[in-house]
Structure 1
Amino acid sequence: MSDRLFIFDTTLRDGEQVPGCQLNTVEKIQVAKQLELLGVDVIEAGFPISSPGDFNSVIEISKAVTWPTICALTRAVEKDIDVAAESLQYAKHKRIHTGIGTSDSHIKYKFNSNREEIIERAVRAVAYAKRYVEDVEFYAEDAGRTDNEYLARVVEAVIKAGATVVNIPDTTGYCMPDEYGAKIKYLMEHVNGIDKAIISTHCHNDLGMATANTLQGVLNGARQVEVTINGIGERAGNTSLEEIAMILRCHKHVGIDTNINTTKIYPTSRMVSSLMNMPVQPNKAIVGRNAFAHSSGIHQDGVLKNVQTYEIMDPKDVGLDDNAIVLTARSGRAALKYRLHVNGCDIESEERLDKIYKKFLELADKKKEITDDDILILAGADTAESHAVKLDFLQVTTGMGCKSVASIGLDISGQKFEEASSGNGPVDAAIKALKKIIQKQMVLKEFTIQAISKGSDDVGKVHMQVEYNGNVYYGFGANTDIVTASVEAYIDCINKFRK
């Protein structure tokens, strides 16, 4: 059995399905190029039939990267497969990922079918995809809750039909690690022709066991893992790429390794977090800001005497630069550009760097020190300049024992508008004034505020959900003034439904 583990990254497909984390095509290309530098073997670029945007993204990603295999997802439907094949026309290495649900629950309630018919549909889909590409992956959706004997029949049939990879997803994150490992082992021992295909894991984290399940799959014979950066994904997320890569790197005795350049892990994590406006939890393994922090006196004493007493990894191994260049108002463009590079954001255009540097100086006048999170926000903020609706000014009066009042000015496609309103607090007053100008029936569904590091001068990040005409739109804002950040998040939502 090969000791090489293939990394199948689905950040741009499964990861991007997280509400509010959608990327445009330019951003997807940026992530895909970073994944190529990271060393992933397969990039699942999208679900082409689902939307014109996904279809176009697969095309453009296929053009942008060179050596990774580009994969497109489909259902076991001929039209899906036709569209996927068309989207992969420019890929140097291409794969179609097709499949169908195999659990009794899916067969009965999702497809109103029976086991034999599902096998027939699976075989037809693989054979049809094989007309377009040599590399065909089949997924047995909800394999985690599929009877092992029947699952083995499905796997054997699709391999015979030409599948080169067979994906065994724990779609609901239900399996226990020993149960999932036993499932992979059963397939390795009971499927005729199993040596003709690679078995893949695809585990969800609903019960916090995605990484453990994936590792058990690998130890029992799987040689591809389907993962995402930062473990993002639907519901509680997917298996984290960085966790699997570093587990195998730290436990060399297992004898299995990946092609991942681990020094690119941290910059890739920061890039994905920044572009998707999805913060990484501080205690997240490998890439959380506390992953290499020691606050306990006993731990600090041990680390100072010998770092290996409490650290099993060198921070540099995952790309954490311990050369602490502190950015302040006196820092120049070179220092700013370097910190952006360390965090996975390479600025090629001097004009764009000048714009970011100008915003950096404005922020540096308000804060003593600028964090990496701050500069990533600045690097992503210039996209707002193309929006139709922009915030011109905001003035708020608030305090104990008096009603909050806000005055606001908007620039809407070059036209200036002003309004004022009172409200139950400064944010409420500002948004009421904003809605007087926009005059749309919008309902605020979710409002989340997060400080990105520490201190009263910190940049606050605001995430919002706004419902308009039955659709939900997600907005993001960041500012040292939390009221301004809230208004910018609301305006971000408005710009999305005005498109």
Structure 2
Amino acid sequence: MSTEHIDIFDTTLRDGEQVPGCKLNTAQKLKIADALDNLGVDIIEAGFPISSPGDFHSVEEIAKLVKNATVCGLSRAVQKDIEVAAEALKYAKRPRIHTGIGTSDSHIKHKFNSTREKIIEQAVEAVKFARNFTSDVEFYAEDAGRTDNAFLAEVCTAVVKAGATVLNIPDTTGYCLPDEYGAKIKYLTEHVVGIEKVKLSCHCHNDLGLATANAIAGVINGARQIECTINGIGERAGNTALEEVVMILRQHPALHLSTNIKTQQLTGLSRMVSQEMGMTVQANKAIVGENAFAHSSGIHQDGVIKNRETYEIIDPADVGVTESSIVLTARSGRSALAYTAKKIGYELTKNDLDIIYLEFLKFADNCKQVQDNDLHHIIALSKNRLQINY
């Protein structure tokens, strides 16, 4: 069975930058955009050009810079938005306009004070207008996660006929369960007229911690684009994390889905985005967190020392981490102590190890982590009783 390509649509510079306190200047955006282009993402959503003169300028400069990826600009289903997005993208080698409107009954009633019929009419007009500027037009059905499937299919059919090339199905509020979101994508593949001419895209939020699971459910059921951000940053609880979905697809070849991402760059880019945005990555964050390849339990440490694959399903080098980390704590066993001691220059016999381990436990019970300097100190306390080969 052949492997199918999943487009990675990165929205770190648009949805990701909407995090309070994470505003980037143009120079910072260009730095990240260049790194994303080198990473191998297929589409970079550079911003929302009409939102401010600064955002327009950033999108324009990113469009000039990016060599490989499609550069995308967001707009509402409003002609002025679309015109401004097109102007900002005029230097892009591969421009895409991303336009759309809310489709759930909640949005139609409370946000737009409109009707289903008028929403379809506005969506069609927006897509047709955008096609005047580029052949690559993505339509987003905001709050698709809470939109009735039959009506969503009706909207999608109308915008495909109008010229949309990508259909974005956002779980805007992070409400869907994975089986629900997957079923929604499957329903659209079966009920949207002309679906074979376009790509379905997953844009999932993490309000219930299900963004990554929902995106994977989406591609399993027929979507061929995932919209995501570095470190999963984004509105409220964030978006689908790029590094997570990429590594899930890589580690599960039975899915027969692949990306062009150079995974060895993931950790470095994660740290760059964290630094530029001033947003710390939680230590236990999957793939790129500080503790993603750290082991402190004696049982785990013993297994990893003997064979890394006993407790790691990803080779750290595959995501740009030099090696697994053995962290000495009061839960560490003799094998971890001997392993670390050897790394800092000590060859311990079994007798040496038995004596040092008792001193080690006394020390470790009073601190969170035993550092290399601490271990030198522990060994020094016992050196008169030991025959250690320095």
**Shorter-normalised TM range:** 0.7 to 0.9
Question: For residues 55 and 290 of structure 1, what CA distance do their matches in structure 2 show?
Answer: 38
Is the aligned partner of 1:133 residue 2:114?
A: no
1:316-358 C-alpha deviation (Å, 9 max, x unpaired): 000112399xxxxxxxxxxxxxxxxxxxxxxxxxxxxxxxxxx
Q: Per the alignment, in what secondary structure is the counterpart of residue 29 of structure 1?
A: helix
- 1:203 corresponding residue in structure 2: 204
- Structure 1 residue 26: deviation in Å? 0.3
How big is the alpha-carbon RMSD for the aligned residues of Structure 1 and Structure 2?
1.5
- 1:417 corresponding residue in structure 2: none
Aligned residue identity for 2:257: I
- 1:392 corresponding residue in structure 2: none
- Structure 1 residue 149: deviation in Å? 0.2
Could you say if the C-alpha distance between residues 80 and 64 of structure 1 is closer, same or farther in structure 2, counting changes exceeding 3 Å?
same
Q: Note if contact 2:294-2:324 (Cα within 8 Å) is conserved in structure 1.
A: no
- 2:117 corresponding residue in structure 1: 116
Which segments of 5 or more consecutive residues in structure 1 lack a partner in the other structure? 325-452, 456-499
- Structure 1 residue 85: deviation in Å? 0.3
Is the aligned partner of 1:166 residue 2:167?
A: yes
Q: Per the alignment, in what secondary structure is the counterpart of residue 33 of structure 2?
A: helix
- 2:319 corresponding residue in structure 1: 318
- Structure 1 residue 454: deviation in Å? 8.4
Q: Note if contact 2:293-2:324 (Cα within 8 Å) is conserved in structure 1.
A: no
Q: TM-score, normalised by structure 1?
A: 0.64
Question: For residues 31 and 369 of structure 2, what CA distance do their matches in structure 1 show?
Answer: 30
- Structure 1 residue 146: deviation in Å? 0.1
Q: Note if contact 2:3-2:258 (Cα within 8 Å) is conserved in structure 1.
A: no
Q: How does 1:183-332 map to 2 (within 5 A)?
A: 183-322=184-323
1:366-400 C-alpha deviation (Å, 9 max, x unpaired): xxxxxxxxxxxxxxxxxxxxxxxxxxxxxxxxxxx
More strand by share: 1
- 1:427 corresponding residue in structure 2: none
- 2:22 corresponding residue in structure 1: 21
Q: Per the alignment, in what secondary structure is the counterpart of residue 45 of structure 2?
A: strand
- Structure 1 residue 54: deviation in Å? 0.5
Aligned residue identity for 2:129: Y
1:81-110 C-alpha deviation (Å, 9 max, x unpaired): 000000001101000000000000000010
Question: For residues 129 and 200 of structure 1, what CA distance do their matches in structure 2 show?
Answer: 19
Q: Note if contact 2:172-2:205 (Cα within 8 Å) is conserved in structure 1.
A: yes
Q: How does 1:97-108 map to 2 (within 5 A)?
A: 97-108=98-109
Q: Note if contact 2:316-2:324 (Cα within 8 Å) is conserved in structure 1.
A: no
Aligned residue identity for 1:153: E
Q: Percent identity?
A: 69
Aligned residue identity for 1:220: N
Question: For residues 167 and 264 of structure 1, what CA distance do their matches in structure 2 show?
Answer: 27
How many residues in Structure 1 have an aligned counterpart in Structure 2?
327
Q: Note if contact 2:3-2:256 (Cα within 8 Å) is conserved in structure 1.
A: no
Aligned residue identity for 1:70: V
Which segments of 5 or more consecutive residues in structure 2 lack a partner in the other structure? 326-367, 371-390
Question: For residues 284 and 111 of structure 2, what CA distance do their matches in structure 1 show?
Answer: 38
Aligned residue identity for 1:231: G
- Structure 1 residue 131: deviation in Å? 0.2
More helix by share: 2
Question: For residues 98 and 311 of structure 2, what CA distance do their matches in structure 1 show?
Answer: 42
Is the aligned partner of 1:34 residue 2:35?
A: yes
User: Would you identify which runs of 4 or more consecutive aligned residues in structure 1 move more than 6 Å?
Assistant: none
- Structure 1 residue 218: deviation in Å? 0.4
Question: For residues 3 and 126 of structure 2, what CA distance do their matches in structure 1 show?
Answer: 28
Question: For residues 76 and 2 of structure 1, what CA distance do their matches in structure 2 show?
Answer: 35
Q: How does 1:82-93 map to 2 (within 5 A)?
A: 82-93=83-94
Q: TM-score, normalised by structure 2?
A: 0.82
Question: For residues 149 and 212 of structure 1, what CA distance do their matches in structure 2 show?
Answer: 24
Question: For residues 268 and 305 of structure 2, what CA distance do their matches in structure 1 show?
Answer: 26
Q: Per the alignment, in what secondary structure is the counterpart of residue 82 of structure 1?
A: helix
